[in-house]
Amino acid sequence: MLTTGKVRIEQSPKGINLALTGIDEKGVDHIVELELDGNAGDIAPIDVPLLSYGYARTVRQNDTTGPGWHRADWAVDDDFASTWRCSKEESWMEIDLEKKEKISRLMIFESGNRIQKFKIEVKDGNDWLSLHEGTTVGEKLVIPLQPVKTQYIRFQILESESPAVISEFLVF
């Protein structure tokens, strides 16, 4: 540890876990120097989850007709290869975060550039409150938000030139 505190290292077949103890919580950065027995380039990469509040949560959608590739839950599965292919130009998906979470940022990834108008809403009691309205999404859209606590968030595609394809909808 190059700053105050100690590092406990645990290695398993799944990877390495570093636990920092005795650190100054007011400090922003903590630097740990690792000395390896071999070449770092020989270490196989691991998948790191995006840690979205919506990951693998229950998702409802309005366009449930058609084959399985219309599934909105594929937009919250942390896999950019799977997609929610909307079956109509006006579609929505609603994510149940399972408990109230303080959210402050969204990231939406669209394959293509079909969306022309959309809305983000959060549920407050029985009412849906508009959080953000926009036009295009495109390959990647980051939406900073005023922090809000909610359990339910809804993404509505209000206009698109053809059915949209969403690879990921991330809630932070």
The whole-number average pLDDT for the span 7-28 is 76
Pair (139, 107) in one structural domain: yes
* Geometric angle at alpha carbon 99, from 157 and 59, rounded to 5°: 35
Average pLDDT over residues 91-108: 96
**Do 103 and 31 share a structural domain?**
no
CATH number at residue 143: 2.60.120.260
Does the pLDDT at position 61 exceed 90? yes
172's CB contacts (< 8 A; 6+ apart) are: 51, 52, 53, 103, 104, 105, 106, 107
15: confidence class by pLDDT, cuts 50, 70, 90:
confident
Domain ranges, residue 93: 58-171
pLDDT digits (tens, 9 = 90+) for 115-165: 999 999 999 999 999 999 999 999 999 999 999 999 999 999 999 988 899
82 assigned to some structural domain: yes
Regarding whether 81 and 159 lie in a shared domain, the answer is: yes
The total of structural domains in the chain comes to 2
Task: Report if residue 16 sits inside a domain.
Answer: yes
Confidence of residue 26 (pLDDT cuts 50, 70, 90): low
Q: Is 47 inside a domain boundary? A: no
Residues 30 and 76 in one domain: no
Residue 49 placed within a domain: no
